[in-house]
Structure 1
Amino acid sequence: MTQPVPLRRAALTLAAGRVPVLPLREGKVPFGNCPRCADNACGGRPNMKSKGPCTCPAPCHAWAAATWDTGVITSPAWAPAWREAVAVAYHPGGCGLTVVDLDNHRAIAWARASLPPTRIVLTTRGQHWIYRGAMASANAVLPGVDVKSRSQYARWLGPGTGAMAVLPEAVRALVVKEDATPARRGVASSPPRATWDRTVATGCRHTEQYVRTGLERGLARVREHAESGAGSQAFGVARFLAAQHTACPGPCGLDSIGDDITAAAVLVGVPEPYARRAVANGFQTARESAA
């Protein structure tokens, strides 16, 4: 059995830096629910699917139990878990981080070719690439690639090496899953122009020419990806254009801009529900970045 003191000491060191931590049991998985939550007696605890920490006295509900409160970490309720713990985990999203978990050499090769260098931590099978910035979590975004942030935990394997970079758009776009759909055939050779105009943007601080030029360029980028990638482009364009308006008193007609981006993605074969979701995620990411 692993001695609890070194693991708890490591957890307290992380907590001192305001990194939320939790113990992991054999198999490197979180401890089971506390008695009052066993067999779903608590109703499934909605905070597992929305914001909010776990309030159970013992480690419970996986990542939601993570805390930097030293009083909780050293409490009698957590003592049995530390006695059985085999590792320490942390909640990346809880301290404003995202971990790109690369499980094999092919995933690592992809990251080296596609992502900016950042802090790297070696794992048993691959590497963790750690970025500053939190986002939604998702498993299997690519073969051998998981994104761990707001609703997942990551095993603590040391501080790693390298300077930590800001979370890039390329990682955010990974959670917008590209549907395997072919480009539509027989579409019009002259795609419709953007419909945004000043009548829907009475509170925008930009000129109409500035907004329309940026929007047209963004729509062109989406249309250029007729074979694949249009959904990810829609996410990136929506994020970029929305970021231009975060300082405006509003309204800026973002709904109309979103409709135009969605229409451009649908034109090259992206299913409309997926296109709208990609645009909404792009807008939301821009708002969170500006907050």
Structure 2
Amino acid sequence: MTYSAPPALLSLALNLVEAHVPVLPLRKGKLPFGNCAACTGSACGDRPHMKAAGPCQCPAPCHGWAAATTSREVLASPAWAAAWRQAGAVAYHPGGAQLTVVDLDNANAVAWARLNLPPTKTVATMRGEHWIYQGAMASANRVRPGVDIKSRMQYTRWYGRGTGPITVLPDAVRALTAREEATPPRARVASSSGGRATWDRSVATGCRHTETFVRTGLDRGLAKVAACREQGAGSQAYGVARFLAAQHTACPGPCGLGTLAQQIIDAAVSVGVPQAYAERAVTNGFASAGLVRAS
């Protein structure tokens, strides 16, 4: 049995599940409803699809994001009625819809995304924007100032359908969750090369650009990487590699891209990025432009 005259938020939730988006109600303040008495402190063992797989089959909206559902019957059931009457917003589980939300919490974060991430469907929020990509990944908070990744095992508030076409989840977003803080103390970080490689025309006999053009772009890019001393150097290295590689797509080659790549890697390692992560970020950046490092 369902209750009649559903409130506006429930009506919205029922519309969303038609698009196979798992939803749940939020209390005022954007928080999910607390667990029922039987589930307090995860005494029940949590829901079966959570990280700590348990036996809970509670009909009420317990366990935060894990309560999200695409069942119209569950959403409109008596067990959920009290929650909808008190709800202040609708949330959804991005990972359950095979989506990833890059939550940009302020204008600076939005400006950074426009420079460093592929454009995709964008939703305006109260303080910034949600950039929505097709594909799920691990969630992570504070991957850089004002930026959270919301996908698996997390919910996010529904602000609307947004504008623009959706883009497949790119490596640039996946790279944001790499644990750069696991780097050894900087005093013990070894450079990726004993003698640092330096780009010049001798390694770029087939490049159509002047040495001044290439070196100016490289120097600006290395400065951006070196400025990320606390976090974000790996993703910045990806963006620099992608930008520099894009400048050489029309060159007959060789352009000495391997040497450019090594200088970007060295810059990232110098501010604490793990060697393997720096190499992967740069390789992915070159690949996104359709080039390989050694060309």
TM-score where L is the length of structure 2 = 0.64
How far apart are 1:185 and its partner, in Å? 6.7
The answer on whether the counterparts of 1:4 and 1:85 sit within 8 Å (CA) in structure 2 is: no
Alignment partner, residue 182 of structure 1:
186
Distance in 1 of aligned mates of 2:104 and 2:142: 10
Name the SS of the counterpart of 2:130 in structure 1: strand
The counterpart of 2:40, out of the listed 38, 43, 53, is 38
Alignment partner of 1:107 is 2:152: no
Q: Distance in 2 between matches of 1:110 and 1:183?
A: 29
3-state DSSP class of the match of 2:163? coil
Paired residues of 2:45 and 2:52 also in contact (CA < 8 A): no
Distance (whole Å) between structure 1 residues aligned to residue 159 and residue 173 of structure 2: 22
Percent pairwise identity: 56
Q: Name the residue aligned to 1:227.
A: 270
Tell me, in whole angstroms, the C-alpha distance in 1 between the residues paired with 2:100 and 2:70.
Answer: 18
Distance in 2, matches of 1:27 and 1:93, equals: 22
CA deviations 1:78-111 (Å, max 9, x no partner) are 1111111110000000010000001111111110
8 A contact 1:173–1:235 mirrored in 2: no
SS in 2 for 1:29: coil
Name the amino acid aligned to 2:163. Answer: T
- Are the aligned partners of 2:269 and 2:278 in contact in 1 as well (CA < 8 Å)? no
Change beyond 3 A, Cα 1:185–1:235: closer
8 Å Cα contact 2:48-2:56 kept in structure 1? no
2:18 counterpart (16, 24, 30) = 16
Q: State how far apart, in whole Å, the 1-side matches of 2:21 and 2:54 are.
A: 16
> Which of 83, 86, 93 is the aligned partner of 1:84?
86
Q: CA deviation at 1:47?
A: 4.3
Q: Secondary structure at the match of 1:58?
A: coil
Which residue is 1:146 aligned to? 148
Q: Summarize the Cα distance change of 1:121–1:185 in structure 2 as closer, same or farther, 3 Å threshold.
A: closer
With over 3 angstroms needed to count, the CA separation of the structure-2 counterparts of 1:81 and 1:185, relative to structure 1, is closer
Q: Cα 1:52–1:190, aligned 2, differ >3 Å: closer, same or farther?
A: farther
Kept in 2: contact 1:55–1:65 (CA 8 A): no
Offset, 1:52: 8.8
* Aligned equivalent of 1:6: 8
User: Which ranges of 4 or more aligned residues in structure 1 deviate by more than 6 Å?
Assistant: 51-54, 185-188, 237-240
Q: Aligned pair in 2 of structure 1 residues 79, 120: CA closer, same or farther (>3 Å)?
A: same
Where does residue 159 of structure 1 map in the other structure?
161
Is the 2:134–2:169 Cα contact (8 Å) retained in structure 1? yes
Instruction: Report the Cα distance in structure 2 between the residues aligned to 1:37 and 1:116, rounded to whole angstroms.
Output: 41
Do the aligned partners of 2:46 and 2:55 also contact (CA within 8 Å) in 1? no
- Against the structure 1 CA distance between its residues 116 and 92, is the aligned structure 2 distance closer, same or farther, given a 3 Å change threshold? same
CA distance in 2, matches of 1:54, 1:223: 50
- Give the secondary structure class of the aligned counterpart of 1:129: strand
Equivalent position SS for 1:150: coil
- 1:118 equivalent in structure 2: 120
Give distance in 1, aligned partners of 2:107 and 2:162. Answer: 18
2:137 — aligned with what?
Answer: 135
Instruction: Please say which structure displays the higher CA radius of gyration.
Output: 2
Structure 2: stretches of 5+ with no match in the other structure: 197-257, 286-295
In structure 1, the gaps of 5 or more residues are 192-215, 241-291
- Residue deviations 1:9-44, cap 9 Å, x none? 110111011000000011111000022102432145
Change beyond 3 A, Cα 1:235–1:183: farther
Correspondence for 1:172 among 171, 174, 186 = 174
> 1:66 aligned to 2:63?
no
Secondary structure of the equivalent of 2:270?
coil
Q: Distance in 1 between matches of 2:277 and 2:150?
A: 19
Question: Contact 2:65 / 2:154 at 8 angstroms: preserved in 1?
Answer: yes
Which amino acid in 1 is paired with 2:194? S
Give the conservation status (yes or no) of the 8 Å contact 2:47–2:53.
Answer: no
**Could you list the per-position Cα deviations for residues 62-85 of structure 1 after superposition, in whole angstroms to 9, with x for gaps in the alignment?**
000001011111111111111111
Three-state SS of the structure 1 residue aligned to 2:180 is coil
Output one character per residue of 1:147-183: Cα deviation in whole Å (capped at 9) or x when no partner.
0000110100110111111111111011112126426
* Corresponding letter in the other structure for 2:108: R
Alignment equivalent of 1:95, drawn from 88, 94, 97? 97
Q: Is the 8 A contact 1:137 1:151 kept in 2?
A: yes
Q: CA deviation at 1:56?
A: 1.8
